[in-house]
Amino acid sequence: MNKLINTAKLALQEHDQLPFSVYSSVKEQHILNVPVIKPLLICVLDGCKKLGSKHEIVCPTGSFVFLSNSPKIDMRNISQGNEYFALLIEFDYSDFDCFKYQTAHAETYFQGDIDSVLKNTLQQFIEWSTVMPSDIWSLRKKEILQVIYHLGYTQVSAVIEPPSLSHKVNNIISAHISDDLGADALSERLAMSESTLRRKLSAEGTSLQAIKDRVKLGHGLHLVQASLDPIGRIAEQCGYQSQSRFTDKFKQLFGITPTELRKTRLHD
């Protein structure tokens, strides 16, 4: 896995925007209620990941877990030896168009080993993404899905359902993360009245404010994990004018402050 780790690190050093993320830490991380807004492939290249309130999903070095777009999940990232290191790739609903026939029963997650075929596919994906324009990144994401399927993990065709209204609202807010889009702006984009928007979100067991908080704080979590930007700057990027307000909301949702989480990534 060392070659894959080094390739990912080098790519991120030389490029700001890539179709994958890397999360690493030298100390154990315990994060509650992590939002998974889009289907997510997590490849553990070093260390161990445990998922769920009782940590029922265990992903050791050299394994992957594919998560559906679920509201939240608890995570523990455990360094073993050098560090915890994971490669993360998010997928859009349109990426699954490559599957003509999808299983009726949706899977919330599935696991597997990173064999030589998948490892080489990921290696090529990282190298290719550094030289190709972003508007065709989806082509290689579809290739990864097909490789996983043909390796025998047919569950990959059933980890996503047609996007609900809350997912559509998620996507709009994510595209305007630093703005405070109100119900009027969102309802206009969705071609429905504000009252209909609120009623339909309530029927899905959520609210506009809950989605806003989840998207903004989820983006903040990503920036704390994937960058070394100052916490104050991250708060601004997430639409919070006050760093203390951002920190309070972050701790309330994830059970740890941004500063405490950042320290797990750094050597003493």
Dihedral sign (CA 251, 253, 258, 262): positive
DSSP type of residue 106: P
Tell me the helix, strand and coil percentages in the chain, rounded to 5: 50, 20, 35
Q: What is the DSSP-derived secondary structure letter of residue 101? A: S
Q: Which region among 14-23, 154-163, 199-208 has the lowest average model confidence (pLDDT)?
A: 154-163
Query: Taking each helix axis from N to C terminus, what angle separates 194-203 and 183-190, rounded to the nearest 10 degrees?
Result: 90
pLDDT of residue 102: 57
Residue 122 has pLDDT above 90, yes or no: yes
Q: What is the pLDDT of residues 50-90, one digit of tens each?
A: 998 766 899 999 999 999 876 689 999 999 878 999 999 99
- Per the CB < 8 A criterion, the answer to whether 240 and 216 are in contact is yes
pLDDT of 158 reads 83
CATH number for 2-158 (one of 3.40.50.300, 2.60.120.810, 3.20.20.140, 3.30.70.360): it is 2.60.120.810
59-62 CB contacts, 8 Å cutoff, 24+ apart: 59/111, 61/1, 62/1, 62/113, 62/114
**Cα end-to-end span (Å), the chain:** 26
The first and second tokens of residue 53, run together, are 């309130």
Residues contacting residue 172 through CB under 8 Å, at least 6 positions apart: 181, 186, 189, 190
Domain ranges of the chain: 2-158, 165-263
> Who's near 158: CB < 8 A, 6+ residues apart?
102, 103, 104, 105, 106, 107
Please give the average per-residue pLDDT across 172-176, as a whole number: 87
Largest CA distance in the chain: 55
Q: What residue type is assigned to position 166 of the chain?
A: S
Q: Which fold has domain 165-263?
A: Arc Repressor Mutant, subunit A (1.10.10)
Which pLDDT tens digit goes with each residue over 5-55?
Answer: 999 999 999 888 899 999 999 999 999 999 888 899 999 999 999 998 766
Assess contact for 239 and 180: CB atoms under 8 A: yes
**What is the distance, to the nearest Å, from the Cα of residue 9 to the centroid of all Cα atoms in its chain?**
18
Same fold, 2-158 and 165-263: no
Taking the whole predicted model, whether its pTM rises above 0.85 is answered as: yes
Quick one: pLDDT at residue 268?
63
Residue 145: per-residue pLDDT: 96
- Tell me 256's DSSP state: S
pLDDT averaged over the chain? 90
Q: Using pLDDT thresholds of 50, 70 and 90, give the confidence band for residue 105.
A: low
What is the percent of the chain where pLDDT is above 90? Answer: 68
